[in-house]
Structures are given as C-alpha cells and as structure tokens.
Structure 1
C-alpha cells in the first residue's frame, strides 16, 4: 500500500504499532493521541450500551442514551483525525522540500511552510476539542453507567486525558514556528481556556470514579 495514501485506521493494531516504531515521521504522536480518543469513545459507547436496555431503547437514563449516540459520532471523528494528523505533517515535510534557488521560490516555499504549519496546528486543536467532549461523556458514564463497567468508563476518562495531552503539546510546538501573531494568539487563548475546563472536568471525573470504587 502506498504510504502517501494509506489510511492508518485500516491497519491491524500490530501493523499500526509497527508503523509507529519505524524510523519515519508519520505516523507519530499526533496519530497515536487521536487513536487514544477513538478508543476512549469506543469504551464510553460500550458502557452506555451496557446501561441502556438493549431490548427496550426507551429504558435507562436519558443521559446514557446521549452518551451512546455521541460516543459513536466522536469515535468516527477521532479515527478521521488519526489520518488527518499524518496527512497534515506530510504537507509540512513536502513544503520544506520545495526548491529555494531563487527569491521567488524562497517566498513560495516560506508561504507553503507557514500554511502547512497552520494546518498542522489545526488538526491537534480539533483533537483537543474532541477530547474535551469525550471527557464529558466518560464522566457521565462513570456517574450513571453500569456499575460492572465503571472501570471501563474510567479507562475512557484517562484515554481522553492522554489524547488531550498529546494534542496540546503538538499544537504548542507548531505555534513556535508560525509567524502569524494573531493566529498564534488566538490558538493560545483557546488552549488556555480548554485546558482549564479540561483539568476541572478530569478532576471531577476522577473523584466520581474513586467514589464508585469503594
């Protein structure tokens, strides 16, 4: 399969891990972080489905039906982000390899790199936003989900945190090379706001998890 058109999400788990371990830039941490989010969304959906009566969709907490529906959509979004993250970084590499023999070529290359870096920052920013949504779903699953699956909901909580931590770092490192000050300032503002909300939500989720484990 052509590495440039490959969809990482179509690989087996074993092959994906082997690709991560290979001496290539893609797939990398951003892809792995987005996959963490997909796994967390899958677990949240599983807990919800174990909570809502499979033979009667009108039973069970309304919040858990919402978790099941949202987690399905979120899992697909995270899987899309796995491949988009890899594609975005490839564009940065491609831009850096553009010719720079003349002033015109240098300007074109510079513009291409800056545009690619913005796109490369945008993908993990989406992952971070999605991770915040996942965290909320996981917290609800911890609170209202089937008690026998509470540790699965807890795993989803921590996978959401992993996805967010990776995404945050990747946005920040791309911002270091972006020259558009307004773009950088807006991204950093959003990072700060999301991180504050995320930390509070995660702490509450962990507290609820501890209460259900005693």
Structure 2
C-alpha cells in the first residue's frame, strides 16, 4: 500500500478486488478504509444531485458540487491513509520485545496516536458530507431527494464509525481531546440524518428535469 499523501492505491483498484480484499484474512483494508470509501461515494452522490439541481434562493448547486468534489477526493485519500496508518501500527507490534520492550511500547503508542488522526479527519469530512447532503435533499432536485438522503445517511454512518475508531485508538489516553472532537462531528452528522428523515417524499406529479429515467 502507498504512504499517506502519495497517489492512492485503492482509487485505481476495481471494486470487486477491494471487496475481496476486505473479506480476506488480511488486516487491511479494514473498517477505516471501508468508511473512507463509503464517504467517497456519499460525497459523489451529493455532487451528482447538485449538478442536476437549479439555483434557488441561497442554494448554489455549483458551489455545493465543487465542495462535494473536494470532500470526495479527501475521503478517497483518507481511505488509503488509513491503510498506511494501520500498517504502521502492525509493523510496530512486530518489533521485538527484547532487548528494549520500552522502545516497542513507545513505537506502538506513537503509531496509535498517528492512526487516530486519520479517522478524526474522516469524521470531519463525513459530517460535512452529511450536511451538504441535507442541503441538496432539501433544496436540490426533488426527484433526486432519495439520493441526497442516502448521502446523508451514509455520511452519518461514516462519521459515527470514524469516531469509534478514534476512541479505540486512543482508549489508553483518557486526557486526549480527539475522541470528543470526533464524537461532535458524529453528532452533527446524525442530527442531519434525523432531519432528512422527516423530509416529505417527492411526488410523481413533480417535474423531472433529467435527461434519463431515474428511480
């Protein structure tokens, strides 16, 4: 796998290959990478709905689509960053206990500390995806409201899982503020999901300005 900040490995991999890798007896890609890829797709849904929508009032679909594209790229990179971060942790656990167990413990602690930053960033990205998804679900093309709602629900799930990963990585560091920050992002995303769940369904009488049929 690639190191954080380089060209992503998962981005150029067929979905079926990724799915097989997740299901295999290998440690990576795991939950963090799957969450990152899920956020990537959720952001893509937001961008798609925005591009099929018209400007209404303060709603600027072009700006929403552009920001969703940025978040999509960020989430995609974070999926690979998670693989690299977890691999660094695994490498640290393989260090010999002797003659210096203290050095091994310090390496593991440092790896977990660094690994917590990836899901924290993902929780923040996913929360914004959820908020943008709510925006397109409310103000965007009504025929694509279910797609916007899907993006919100996926963003909420990703933010919640990412917050759990932050907490797990830092469970030995009770004074670290990052779990609380991740939990705040998750709460933001869940609130958006709760709000879109109350939106009315689009009706068959509403116009469909799409160049193709969409369920």
| CA deviation profile, 1:166-191 (whole Å, cap 9, x unmatched) | 21221122122x3x4432xx123213
Q: Which residue of 2 aligns with 1:55?
A: none
1:15 equivalent among 14, 17, 21: 17
Determine which structure has greater relative contact order: mean sequence separation of CA pairs < 8 Å that are 6+ residues apart, divided by chain length: 1
Q: Give the TM-score normalised by structure 2.
A: 0.85
Q: Which residue of 1 aligns with 2:189?
A: 198
- Flag the structure with higher helix content: 1
Q: Which residue of 2 aligns with 1:46?
A: 48
Q: Give the TM-score normalised by structure 1.
A: 0.85
Question: CA shift at 1:108, angstroms?
Answer: 1.5
Q: Which runs of 5 or more structure 1 residues have no equivalent in the other structure?
A: 53-58
Contact 2:160 2:183 in 1 (8 A): no
Question: CA shift at 1:114, angstroms?
Answer: 0.5
The CA distance in 1 between the partners of 2:11 and 2:169, in whole Å, is 24
**Alignment RMSD, CA only?**
1.8
Q: Which residue of 2 aligns with 1:136?
A: 131
Q: Count the aligned residue pairs.
A: 198
Q: Which residue of 2 aligns with 1:98?
A: 95
Correspondence list, 1:93-132, <5 A: 93-102=90-99, 105-132=100-127
**Secondary structure class of the residue paired with 1:92:** helix
The CA distance in 1 between the partners of 2:75 and 2:153, in whole Å, is 15
Question: CA shift at 1:99, angstroms?
Answer: 1.7
Correspondence list, 1:159-174, <5 A: 159-174=154-169
Q: Which residue of 1 aligns with 2:201?
A: 212
